[in-house]
Structure 1
Amino acid sequence: MSFAKLKATREAKQSYVTPNIPENSQESSAVPSQAVHQPAEETAVTEKIYKAIPDYLESRTSQTSGRGLWMKQSCSPGQIILAVKPHAAALSNDRMDSHCSQCFGAGNSLKRCTKCQAVYYCDSMCQNIDWPLHKHECAALQRIAASGDPSIPSDAIRCLGRIMWKRQKQGPTSAWVGSIINIQPSAYELHTHLAISLFVTNTFTITDPSLTPLGASVSPPVALINHSCDPNAVVPAQEPLMQVIALREIRADEEILTAYVDTTLPKAMRQAALRETYLFSCGCQLCTSVADIDPRESVWCPKACGGMCPAPTEEDSLSRCTKCKAVLQKTDEVLDALRIGQQALDKVTALQFSDPAKARQLTTNLVPILTSAGLTPASHPLLALTRLHQALLIAELPGAPAQAQVLLDEAIVAATKTLAGLGAVLRAGHPVRGIARTELGKLLAVDEPAPAPNSGSAAEEALRYPPSGAKRLRLALETLVQARAELGVGFGAPNEGGAVGREVREDIVRLERELGVWKKGLGEALRDAREAGA
């Protein structure tokens, strides 16, 4: 949620968090305090926060990006650089009835809070652990329900509320709370919007093992890390720990950098997102590079030489292949495709949950149009539409047994194109790449509802995609082996690639057995045929 949306939410509704100001206080909420931050207190807070940072990391300040974290010794890809428990976290509204609000685990037999009727837990143990904070949240949710407002505050607002209640419990000098929002009671109203802005810029998305967003969390030590659109580390934030993991070798005296925004987006969209939410423009190497082409904004060479052309723009329609220098002639067609594609992406994003059938119809129609216009798999908005198309196909599979084979094969093709696009813009080992490769491998490993018969020549069968039978299983096995290697980097080598990595290991063992049975069966069939011929 952007700062603008948070601000609008607060202005439109009653306060979710009521400041605990003593009745005899002489301070007025309309008058700002003359000393919001005390230098001595700030120093003490900072020292307490840094105790959570390992000795091989160091906080430094640079002239370009301000305070950040640097390595004092080198580390390898997949190494866990930092692991801390989030200071505060809250589930998204659409996950509150399917996940535990304490451990964020999914379950079919969760127990609902009998008072607020909005929050669920695995069992009484999780509820008791969360009660010191939820008792305040519970009362606030009951007040909102009693007012006749059926809506529940967003995860960002509820996470912010939990921080404020911790401040109330631990006092204004709490190291963790003070590092995020250090505002005197007299200035609550005046600085509410500033507080929300500070909160948003220090918030991380909590995900499940497959990177599906679950909610919002805050961790001051992790928030020290600065941004780059070509990061050397990632933060796959999952309960109970937030981990910072190296994507590549990071040398001593090198700054640790993660991405605050979706780096598959073109430069202009990344910069706009950073300015809106984080109030800065990125000056990383990817954003300042004068390279001839960015795969995120690219079109295939009109002469099919294998090279690419920069996507034309309204301001500069002249585009040449960076390899053979052929001039792109159909610039109007490409510009129309980009414009229509972005409109379709916005609509599909809005419809994917409320009307998935309509959303899939749009992706089915638009992906071929963008492809025929020459956009490469990594180009925006084709990559985003392809990823949505894949997700919509997979979601439809269980409910369409008659079309299962067609939908499965279409999902495999979409997953293959998605992986090709991500592979062009994300570093090897990136968790998003690892999950995408895992999804492709799992789709290939699904039992074929109606395997396609051999209906062409050997050459035609060799070119058919996706393949069938044993060839399909072998491709699934190869894909999952590669996926496990990438997951081992993006989710941490000590974690064995996380929960998904451990599942993939089991899938690999199963496929190896299945292929062994397939080979044994084929061998026996050939033997029987020879014996029958004799």
Structure 2
Amino acid sequence: MSFAELKAARQGKSSYVTQNSSQNSQSSSAAPSQVVQQSEESLAPTESIYKAIPDFLEIRSSSGSGRGLWAKKACTPGQVLLVAKPHAAALSSEHLDTHCAQCFGSETDGGLKRCTQCQIVYYCGPTCQNLDWVIHKHECAALQRIAASGETSLPSDAIRCLARIMWKRQKLGPTSSWTREIDSLQSHNQDLKPAAYELHTHLAISLVRYLGLSSPSEIVSFGMVSGADLANFVSRFVTNTFTISDPSLMSLGASVSPPVALINHSCDPNAVVVFPRSRPDPAQEPLMQVIALREIRADEEILTAYIDTTLPRAQRQTTLLETYLFLCICPLCTSTDEVDPRESVWCPKGCGGMCPTPTEENSFSRCAKCKAVLQKTDEVLDAQRIGQQALDKATTLQLSDPEKAHQLTSNLIPILTSAGLTPSSHPLLALTRLHQALLISALRSPTQETLDETIVTASKAFSGLCAVLRYGHPVRGLARAELGKLLAVDEPSPRQPGSGSAAEEALRFPPSGVKRLRLALDTLLQARAELGVGFGVPNEGGQVGRSVREDIVKLERELGAWKKGVSEVMEDARLAAKSSSK
């Protein structure tokens, strides 16, 4: 289980932090509060070490959220705000044999080379292996020790990432800038609730065992003098860990970056953290980049989202309280709008408006547009409940039993749709996205029917994301690109022209033949523009953006050949008609 999955499993439990018990917790950075501007010279010693922070950003403190990063000048959408290589990163166990342990690049035609000693870690070549050896030599011995003990499972990415930090601390010493940045990360160890101790205790015990320590006194060599130091170290890790991902946002493992961890949270962020892999030199990867999603004014705080912001407000708040110990009071969480698309039902009168999703506490709901009262509240509540159960089960079965997962999503999506949930509402949006992923994974030799079903599902998922994520968000850009790529797939059995009336053909989705190719081209062109924002304009949309550009060129050639073919046929017909008239 990866660290991201471990945290998600704990977050899935009912909240152990009530609103009353969290009054002393940190609030979201989006809260109105007094901002104290600090120059580099006036910062505490631990705050003057972040060399990765560019001149146009500045560390400031606010009474509501503590330290954060603020823009000193206006920034534009797609601008790269911050670039930093993680201080430490570790692949999840399932990716150890498919990705390079140093640069996190995926397996290429040349294949990956396995470490001949531990035979667990892989590299894309000698350069990456040599770069990683300074830490991997310790890791290699630890992995061999684990194997010799008879253990059948590897330590998680969290344990291996923690150990990599410890070994580097040991090498660089407690006064190095690198170690001081790690030690400056915020720890919530003193604020932990009893239910959180399980995760922290598990990590601490597993780490000590993985490091091969036999007594508490041995942690001194890592710059720690007591168990309390170790507890704070683990707390800093849990609170400030980033999921490292590939350019398509697939989770690869756990990472830590103190400069990026300075950025506070908002459920309506103005920036995003991505790994676009824009550098041709693997020695420079994995590179974490913070990208502006919209115009950011001078003296505005840089804010990213720590969690999935397509979730309803209650689920977001629970996750943030459990993992980060603060109440979010960003504009999205404090909005007084009648309807949030994440929690919405279509108007019962069909006016096109939406009603807020009813709850057990408040079942009254009416359309924000025509004020029609929603009558079938029990049906909506039941659909939501079984939909969430199906989503949880299908997500668990996605890899181990994809057929069962597909059966669950296929059966539940129509139930939620018939109950009136909008495409952007939870859990319908999540089920639709999972259903799409399952369809694509099974799309090896598609029939026309399965290909069209996949395209329709991708279109619904994209529509739902557009309602809850701002333009340029990487998740939204990738969804549009995926839809465009699906539309560009060769049709197994394209419909023949004239198979339906003109009105039917105009409304049919997806279209067939050249209309489908034109729609694919238009979709990919829009996707490339959106990816340019989400993954950075200088990066041209990152690795995915470059792939989309290649698809666009292929489609333009295909459409050009089709146009040429049609013109030649028409010319031949004209000449034939002219010849027969003589």
Q: Give TM-score, length-normalised by structure 2.
A: 0.82
Counterpart of 1:409 in structure 2 is: 452
Counterpart of 2:264 in structure 1 is: 226
SS in 2 for 1:291: coil
SS in 1 for 2:168: helix
Distance across 2 between alignment mates of 1:342 and 1:458: 41
Distance across 2 between alignment mates of 1:304 and 1:87: 54
Counterpart of 2:341 in structure 1 is: 295
Counterpart of 1:336 in structure 2 is: 382
Distance across 1 between alignment mates of 2:180 and 2:73: 30
Which residue of 104, 112, 115 maps to 1:113?
A: 115
Q: How does 1:500-519 map to 2 (within 5 A)?
A: 500-519=544-563
Distance across 1 between alignment mates of 2:567 and 2:378: 57
Which residue of 151, 154, 164 maps to 1:152?
A: 154
Which residue of 461, 481, 493 maps to 1:438?
A: 481
Q: 1:465 to 1:396 in 2, by over 3 A?
A: same
Counterpart of 1:236 in structure 2 is: 274
Larger mean Cα displacement after TM superposition, 169-178 or 286-295: 169-178
SS in 2 for 1:343: helix
Whether contact under 8 Å (1:3, 1:196) holds in the other structure is no
Counterpart of 1:448 in structure 2 is: 491
Distance across 1 between alignment mates of 2:539 and 2:48: 30
SS in 1 for 2:470: coil
SS in 2 for 1:393: helix
Counterpart of 2:291 in structure 1 is: 245
Whether contact under 8 Å (1:228, 1:282) holds in the other structure is yes
Q: Which amino acid aligns with 1:330?
A: K
Distance across 2 between alignment mates of 1:462 and 1:166: 63
1:422 CA drift (Å):
0.5
Counterpart of 1:489 in structure 2 is: 533
1:46 CA drift (Å):
2.5
Counterpart of 1:428 in structure 2 is: 471
Which residue of 135, 139, 142 maps to 2:141?
A: 139
Whether contact under 8 Å (1:46, 1:175) holds in the other structure is no
1:376 CA drift (Å):
0.5
Larger mean Cα displacement after TM superposition, 503-512 or 479-488: 503-512
Counterpart of 1:372 in structure 2 is: 418
SS in 2 for 1:230: coil
For residues 376-409 of structure 1, give each alpha carbon's deviation from its aligned partner in whole angstroms, at most 9, with x where no partner exists.
11100011111111111010011xx2x4322211
Q: 1:485 to 1:3 in 2, by over 3 A?
A: closer
Counterpart of 2:247 in structure 1 is: 209
For residues 299-343 of structure 1, give each alpha carbon's deviation from its aligned partner in whole angstroms, at most 9, with x where no partner exists.
011111110000111111111000000111111111111001000
For residues 28-72 of structure 1, give each alpha carbon's deviation from its aligned partner in whole angstroms, at most 9, with x where no partner exists.
xxxxxxxxxxxxxx94332222x3211111100001111000000
Whether contact under 8 Å (2:3, 2:158) holds in the other structure is no
Whether contact under 8 Å (2:272, 2:293) holds in the other structure is yes
1:97 CA drift (Å):
0.3
Distance across 1 between alignment mates of 2:524 and 2:379: 38
Distance across 2 between alignment mates of 1:193 and 1:530: 84
SS in 2 for 1:389: helix
Larger mean Cα displacement after TM superposition, 496-505 or 417-426: 496-505
Structure 1 residues without counterparts, runs of 5 or longer: 10-41
1:191 CA drift (Å):
4.4
Counterpart of 1:471 in structure 2 is: 515
Q: How does 1:19-34 map to 2 (within 5 A)?
A: none
Whether contact under 8 Å (2:77, 2:295) holds in the other structure is yes
1:189 CA drift (Å):
2.9
Q: How does 1:351-370 map to 2 (within 5 A)?
A: 351-370=397-416
Distance across 1 between alignment mates of 2:344 and 2:126: 54
Whether contact under 8 Å (1:180, 1:202) holds in the other structure is no
Matched, 1:199 2:237: yes
SS in 2 for 1:287: coil
Q: Which amino acid aligns with 2:528?
A: R
Matched, 1:282 2:328: yes
Q: 1:84 to 1:4 in 2, by over 3 A?
A: closer
Whether contact under 8 Å (1:345, 1:384) holds in the other structure is yes
Distance across 1 between alignment mates of 2:275 and 2:158: 15
Percent identical among aligned pairs is 71
Counterpart of 1:69 in structure 2 is: 69
Structure 2 residues without counterparts, runs of 5 or longer: 11-42, 185-218, 277-284
Counterpart of 2:212 in structure 1 is: none
SS in 1 for 2:349: coil
Q: Which amino acid aligns with 1:505?
A: R
Distance across 2 between alignment mates of 1:241 and 1:528: 57
Counterpart of 2:175 in structure 1 is: 173
Q: 1:486 to 1:188 in 2, by over 3 A?
A: farther
For residues 218-275 of structure 1, give each alpha carbon's deviation from its aligned partner in whole angstroms, at most 9, with x where no partner exists.
1111110000000000110353321111000101100000000000010111111111
For residues 6-34 of structure 1, give each alpha carbon's deviation from its aligned partner in whole angstroms, at most 9, with x where no partner exists.
8x99xxxxxxxxxxxxxxxxxxxxxxxxx
Q: Which amino acid aligns with 2:379?
A: E
Q: 1:187 to 1:300 in 2, by over 3 A?
A: farther
Whether contact under 8 Å (2:3, 2:156) holds in the other structure is no
Matched, 1:525 2:569: yes
Q: 1:506 to 1:237 in 2, by over 3 A?
A: closer
Whether contact under 8 Å (1:76, 1:249) holds in the other structure is yes
Whether contact under 8 Å (2:244, 2:251) holds in the other structure is yes
Larger mean Cα displacement after TM superposition, 219-228 or 147-156: 147-156
Whether contact under 8 Å (1:80, 1:492) holds in the other structure is yes
Q: 1:275 to 1:298 in 2, by over 3 A?
A: same
Distance across 2 between alignment mates of 1:416 and 1:532: 44
Counterpart of 1:189 in structure 2 is: 227
SS in 1 for 2:393: helix
Distance across 2 between alignment mates of 1:420 and 1:232: 21
Counterpart of 1:44 in structure 2 is: 45
1:3 CA drift (Å):
9.8
SS in 2 for 1:235: strand
Distance across 2 between alignment mates of 1:61 and 1:124: 44
For residues 85-115 of structure 1, give each alpha carbon's deviation from its aligned partner in whole angstroms, at most 9, with x where no partner exists.
1111111111100000011111151111122
For residues 474-520 of structure 1, give each alpha carbon's deviation from its aligned partner in whole angstroms, at most 9, with x where no partner exists.
10011011101101100101111111111111211211111111122
Whether contact under 8 Å (1:300, 1:309) holds in the other structure is yes
Distance across 1 between alignment mates of 2:228 and 2:269: 36
Aligned length: 498
Whether contact under 8 Å (1:345, 1:381) holds in the other structure is yes
Distance across 2 between alignment mates of 1:186 and 1:103: 29
Q: Give TM-score, length-normalised by structure 1.
A: 0.90
Q: Which amino acid aligns with 2:392?
A: D
1:192 CA drift (Å):
3.6
Whether contact under 8 Å (1:230, 1:286) holds in the other structure is yes
Distance across 1 between alignment mates of 2:407 and 2:148: 41
Distance across 2 between alignment mates of 1:102 and 1:365: 43
